[in-house]
């Protein structure tokens, strides 16, 4: 795990994600999820590569059901890109890093 990724909970989601002054990529995941582990290196690379322009956070869906249901997370991994407190992009499934990057670059 990189120091550029923050683990968020239902309790601190609003402060860390919705009130952020830079775009936030939220990785909705679970320990038992194989595809979540497959995209983890790509998510870490993005966190390191864009650390000054993008905040990357992980939210465990098993431990934080309130935020997960609020945003209608039905399958994981799901990545949501927030900017100014609003969802701008939704990425579902284990996409390769270039595809993820392509979708978020417009907001950085």
At residue 68, φ and ψ (nearest 5 deg) are: -60, -45
Catalytic residue status for 33: yes
Whole-angstrom distance, CA of residue 73 vs CA of residue 79? 10
Cβ 25 vs Cβ 56: under 8 Å: yes
Quick one: CA dihedral 105, 79, 24, 56, positive or negative? negative
Of residues 8, 16, 24, 36, which has the active-site annotation?
36
Q: Is 36 a catalytic residue?
A: yes
Catalytic site residue from 33, 39, 42, 57: 33
Residues known to be catalytic:
33, 36
């Amino acid at each position: 795990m990189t120091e550029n990724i923050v683990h968020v909970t239902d309790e601190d989601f609003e402060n860390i994600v919705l009130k952020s002054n830079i775009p936030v990529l939220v990785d909705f995941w679970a320990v038992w999820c194989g595809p979540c582990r497959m995209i983890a290196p790509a998510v870490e690379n993005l966190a390191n590569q864009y650390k000054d322009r993008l905040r990357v956070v992980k939210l465990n869906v098993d431990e934080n059901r309130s935020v997960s249901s609020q945003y209608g997370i039905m399958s994981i991994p799901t990545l949501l890109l927030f900017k100014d407190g609003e969802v701008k992009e939704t990425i579902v499934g284990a996409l390769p890093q270039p595809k993820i990057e392509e979708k978020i670059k417009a907001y950085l």
